Structure 1
Amino acid sequence: MQEIQMDNKGPSAPPIPAVGVGGLIFNDQGHVLLIARRNPPRAGEWHIPGGRLEPGETLAACCSREIWEETGIRAIPESIVAVADRQIDGFHYVIIDFMAALSENEDGAAPCPGSDALDAGWFDPEHLDELPLVEGLEEVIAAGKRLRNGKNKGLSLDSHHSWLYA
């Protein structure tokens, strides 16, 4: 068993962690939807659409809202593909990344970057080498590909109760 370090206490510790969500979406061609972040942390780097959970909002609603706000594309979160506890540039986030399905009639849609994004687009996950990616994104995409190919089930979301099931 790995020992847990308790080293983030005191005046220099990050503020209370914020809950964030991300939406990993593949289109019918197997391309992944990415945005270039406009704001810190990691401004200018590419990531899946996502953002902070608002008070009273469910995880699923937050995921759908953030995808829409950042890309103009409608999607429905289906299962959890990754969870991260990240402390980046003075920010502390617990990030829950969902595999999301495109809503009806959205597969051919071209993303339009919202105010939180510098750019947005569909990318072949096998050719992301030239993009500055947020740390850990390649692993999230790989997990999503396994989920998409039936090699992993992920966690299912019961959006009515906001419960997760393995």
Structure 2
Amino acid sequence: MPSYPFRSHSQDSPGADPVEAALAGDESLVELRCAVIVARGEDVLLLRRPGEGPAKPGRPDGEVWVLPGGRPRPGEGMLACARREVAEETGVVVMPDRCAFVADVIAPDRGRRCVELVFVARVGAREEVTLAGEHGVEPAWMSLERVRQVNLRPPIAGFLPDVVRGRAQTAPYLGNLWRPEGAENEPGHGSGGVLDDATRPSEPRRGTWE
């Protein structure tokens, strides 16, 4: 079975985080992938991954295309993960501010499940951007028309035009809502403002999200 979307850096990097390595063998877990639709005009930023799909006419190397993204590190917020992954995989620095949609990707044998949280970010149509991919992936701008013709995983090509053109409804990302007990009256608590992903206590404390 192709590795997407269950691929993680622990499969590629000998110095991978030990927590990721430990979780990789737990088939009962729901995996989380934070991805970004990076739009520039009518183009979308995608990653080409050769050898991860079946070889077919026109795709002799079994290429698949995916949105840039990956799994959060321990203690890392979802928005911070999305920004980091885009920068690492493409060299592009973005500031996603809305959530476009959430997708389930469940293996046919129901043994593994990935939830993909997809943010949206925009790059100026005339902005000069230099792409720089990680080993084994090739970032590229692709037109919405072309996206429908490639092997995109998961198959979300039909949803991209409305998102890219600003016609789709999006949702805010509320950030880290953990608060120490007794902090209900602190400034910003329950205000609805987006919290920075790094906002968390310096040491473990009892807390609540209610």
Q: TM-score band, normalised by the shorter chain? A: 0.7 to 0.9
User: C-alpha separation between the residues in 1 aligned to 2:42 and 2:122?
Assistant: 12
Shift, 1:97, TM fit: 0.4
Divergent runs of 4+, >6 A: none
Identical amino acids, percent of aligned pairs: 22
Q: Which of 1 and 2 has higher RCO (CA within 8 Å, sep 6+)? A: 1
User: C-alpha separation between the residues in 2 aligned to 1:139 and 1:65?
Assistant: 26
Alignment pair present for 1:124 and 2:136: no
Shift of the 113–135 alpha-carbon distance from structure 1 to 2, 3 Å rule, reads: same
Q: TM-score, normalised by structure 1?
A: 0.72
Q: Which residue of 1 aligns with 2:48?
A: 36
Q: Which residue of 2 aligns with 1:74?
A: 93
Q: Which residue of 2 aligns with 1:153?
A: 169
Q: TM-score, normalised by structure 2?
A: 0.59
Structure 2 unaligned blocks of 5 or more: 1-25, 55-61, 176-193, 198-210
Shift, 1:58, TM fit: 0.7
User: C-alpha separation between the residues in 1 aligned to 2:28 and 2:136?
Assistant: 22
Alignment pair present for 1:93 and 2:106: no
| Contact 2:98/2:172, CA 8 A, preserved across alignment | yes
The residue type paired with residue 171 of structure 2 is L
1:31-81 CA-partner distances (Å, limit 9, x unpaired) = 110001368689731011011111101111000011011101101111111
Shift, 1:154, TM fit: 0.4
Alignment pair present for 1:26 and 2:39: yes
Two-structure CA RMSD over aligned residues (Å): 3.0
Shift of the 49–100 alpha-carbon distance from structure 1 to 2, 3 Å rule, reads: same
Moved more, 45-54 or 120-129: 120-129
Structure 1 unaligned blocks of 5 or more: 1-12
Shift, 1:129, TM fit: 4.1
SS in 2 for 1:69: helix
Q: How many aligned residue pairs are there?
A: 145
User: C-alpha separation between the residues in 2 aligned to 1:122 and 1:62?
Assistant: 21
User: Which structure is higher in strand share?
Assistant: 1
